[in-house]
C-alpha cells in the first residue's frame, strides 16, 4: 500500500487517463480486441451465407463445377417439385406439432421442478438427459426402440398392455408411424429444455411485485396482464424461438432414423438439402432448398431481438 498522498495523486492521473488522453487509445483497444471475434464470424458464418446466396442463383456442382447463372431457376424449379413441397410441409409440421407437445410437457415439468423434491439436483439431471445427451447418440437408442422386430414400444403397448393390435406398428417403415416416430424423438429431445425455460419464466417474477400489485388493488386479470405477462412472455418467446430454430434446421433425427422415407413421408428441408447438395452434388439447388428455411429464421431473429430488448428495458 502506497502512502495516501501518492494514492490520491495516482487517482487523479487515472481519472485524467480515463477521461482525456487515454480515451482514444481505450477506444482503439476496444475495437481491436473485438475484431478477431467479428472476423471469425464474418468469415465462417457471413461468407458461407453469402456463398449460399450465390450458389442458389447459379448452377454449381461439388468439385467447383460452375455452369452459369440461372437467376431464380433453382427456386422456381422447387415450387412445383412435389418432393420439395412435401419436405417443406413436413418441416413445418414437425416443428409445429412438436412445439405444442413440448410446451404441454414443459409446463408440467416446470411445475414439478418448482416443488420441493428429495435429491432435486440429481432428479433434475436425470430429467434433463434427453436434452443434454448428444442427439446423434441418443437417436441410436431410439432406432433400437423402433426396431421392426424387437421394438420395445410395441412389446410394451402391444404384447403387455394390448393397446396396439397385431400387426404392430412398423415405426420406421410405415408413412404414418414414421412421421410419428420423428415427431416423438423431437418432442423427447426438447421437452426438458421447454421445462427449464418455463421454470425460468415462472421464477422470474419477484414476489414483492405481486404483493405490490395486490396492495394497489389489482385483481387477477390486471395482475396477469400488467405484471405476469410482460415478465414471462419475453422469456418464453426467446426459448421458443431458440427451440424452433433448432427443430426447423435439424438434420440429425431424420438422417439417423428414416433418411426421409418411407417414400418421402418424413422428408424435411435439411434432409432434402443433404440429398440434393451432398449426395447429388448439386450445390445450387441444395442451397436454394436450405434458403427456404431462411424466412422463418429471420422472423425468429426479429422476435428474439424484440424480446431481448423488452426484457432489458424492464
Partner 1 sequence: MSVTVPAIRQNRPGPRRISNRALLYLALVFYLTIAVFPLYWMMMAAFKSDTDLIDTSVSPFWFRRPLTLTHFDQLFLHTNFMTWYWNTYVIAAFVLLITLAICVPAAYALARLHVPGGEKIAIGLFMTYLVPPTLLFLPLSQVISGGLGLGNNKWALVLVYPSFTIPFCLWLLIGFFKRVPLEIEEAALVDGCNRVQAVIRVVLPVSVPGILTTAIFAFTLAQQDFVYALTFTSSSSQQLLNVGIPASLIRGDIYFWGELMAAALMAGIPVAILYNVFLDYFVEGITGGALRG
Q: Write out the binding residues for partner 1, residues 251-270 only, by CB under 8 A.
A: 251-252, 255-256, 269-270
Q: What is the dihedral of CA 13, 19, 24, 28, to 10 degrees?
A: 90
Among 169, 190, 239, 260, binds partner 1 (CB under 8 A): 239
Residue list 171-230, contact with partner 1 (CB under 8 A): 188, 191-192, 196-197, 200, 204
Could you give the string, one character per residue 3-32, with x where binding to partner 1 holds by CB under 8 A and - elsewhere?
----x--xx--x-----------xx-xxxx
Q: What is the dihedral of CA 99, 242, 85, 105, to 10 degrees?
A: -10
CB 272 within 8 A of CB 289: yes
Helix (H) or strand (E) holding 60: strand 58-61
Could you tell me where the DSSP H helices lie in 203-268? 207-215, 220-222, 229-248, 252-257
Among 33, 82, 162, 165, binds partner 1 (CB under 8 A): 33
Among 83, 92, 128, 233, binds partner 1 (CB under 8 A): 128
Q: Cell numbers 412472455 correspond to what residue?
A: 233
Q: Cell numbers 425468429 correspond to what residue?
A: 300
Q: Which stretch binds partner 1 (CB under 8 A): 80-88, 95-103, 161-169, 287-295?
A: 287-295
Going by their DSSP bridges, the two strands 65-69 and 58-61 should be labelled as antiparallel
Residue list 130-169, contact with partner 1 (CB under 8 A): 130-138, 140-145, 147, 149-150, 152, 155
Determine the size of the site formed for partner 1 (CB under 8 A): 108
Residue list 50-109, contact with partner 1 (CB under 8 A): 51-52, 55, 60, 62-64, 105, 108-109
Count of residues making up the chain: 314
Amino acid at each position: 500500500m502506497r502512502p495516501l498522498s501518492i494514492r490520491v495523486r495516482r487517482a487523479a492521473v487515472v481519472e485524467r487517463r480515463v477521461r482525456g488522453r487515454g480515451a482514444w487509445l481505450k477506444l482503439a483497444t476496444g475495437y481491436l480486441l473485438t475484431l478477431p471475434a467479428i472476423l471469425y464470424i464474418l468469415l465462417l458464418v457471413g461468407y458461407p451465407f453469402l456463398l449460399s446466396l450465390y450458389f442458389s442463383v447459379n448452377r454449381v456442382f461439388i468439385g467447383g463445377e460452375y455452369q452459369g447463372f440461372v437467376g431464380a431457376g433453382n427456386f422456381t424449379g422447387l415450387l412445383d417439385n412435389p418432393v420439395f413441397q412435401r419436405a417443406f410441409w413436413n418441416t413445418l409440421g414437425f416443428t409445429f406439432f412438436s412445439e405444442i407437445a413440448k410446451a404441454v410437457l414443459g409446463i408440467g415439468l416446470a411445475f414439478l421442478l418448482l416443488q420441493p423434491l428429495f435429491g432435486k439436483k440429481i432428479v433434475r439431471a436425470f430429467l434433463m438427459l434427453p436434452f443434454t445427451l448428444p442427439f446423434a447418440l441418443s437417436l441410436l437408442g431410439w432406432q433400437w426402440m423402433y426396431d421392426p422386430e424387437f421394438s420395445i414400444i410395441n412389446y410394451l403397448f402391444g404384447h403387455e398392455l394390448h393397446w396396439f393390435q397385431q400387426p404392430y406398428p412398423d415405426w420406421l417403415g410405415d408413412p404414418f408411424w414414421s412421421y410419428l416416430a420423428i415427431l416423438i424423438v423431437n418432442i423427447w429431445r426438447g421437452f426438458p429444455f421447454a421445462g427449464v425455460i418455463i421454470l425460468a419464466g415462472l421464477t422470474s417474477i419477484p414476489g414483492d411485485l405481486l404483493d405490490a400489485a395486490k396492495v394497489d388493488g389489482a385483481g387477477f386479470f390486471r395482475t396477469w396482464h400488467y405484471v405476469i405477462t410482460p415478465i414471462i412472455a419475453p422469456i418464453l418467446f426467446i426459448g421458443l424461438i431458440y427451440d424452433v430454430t433448432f427443430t426447423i434446421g435439424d438434420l440429425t433425427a431424420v438422417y439417423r432414423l428414416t433418411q426421409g422415407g418411407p417414400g418421402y413421408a418424413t422428408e424435411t428441408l435439411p434432409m432434402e438439402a443433404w440429398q440434393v447438395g451432398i449426395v447429388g452434388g448439386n450445390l445450387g439447388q441444395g442451397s436454394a432448398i436450405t434458403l427456404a428455411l431462411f424466412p422463418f429464421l429471420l422472423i425468429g431473429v426479429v422476435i428474439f431481438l424484440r424480446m431481448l430488448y423488452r426484457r432489458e428495458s424492464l
